[in-house]
Amino acid sequence: MTLKADIQALLEDDIIPLLHDEVWPDVYAVVESTPVSDGAGGFTTTDTTVESGVCYLKAINRQGQEREVADRLGWSSGYSIDLPLDTVLTPTHTLVVNGRAMDVGEVIRGGEFAYKAVAVVQENG
């Protein structure tokens, strides 16, 4: 092998996988809810995973916000998530990151030189 081929093999086999885990350490799934007739005039929803992969989750506000809704204390926390540029995610989907369901606010796909999509999401409890 040539030196160039050796370096290329080293990058592909050893270095890039290490960087991949550092840059994209989280796992996501895009879930789509579809209404299905229950046969009695109503419907139920069926959740289907339409995409999954790795992402990078970043907290927008480190403190979450507590609020009282219908005599119940709830909380919410905002996040920004880096996703692959070709993601199918839209605000009508639910994004599940590391097993935590999040509501999608907006998906920004960038411009001509974009290498990722960024989603702004909210986790509620």
C-alpha angle 54-114-86 in degrees, rounded to nearest 5 = 45
Which residues have a Cβ under 8 Å from the Cβ of 14 and sit 6 or more positions away? none
Amino acid at site 91: P
Which residues of the chain fall short of a pLDDT of 50? none
Domain ranges of the chain: 25-124
Residue 114's H or E segment, with its range, is none
Q: How high is the pLDDT of residue 108?
A: 92
Of 18, 32, 9, whose CA–CA distance to 88 is shortest? 32
Domain 25-124 fold is: Thrombin, subunit H (2.40.10)
Q: How high is the pLDDT of residue 122?
A: 86
Q: How high is the pLDDT of residue 18?
A: 63
Q: How high is the pLDDT of residue 119?
A: 92
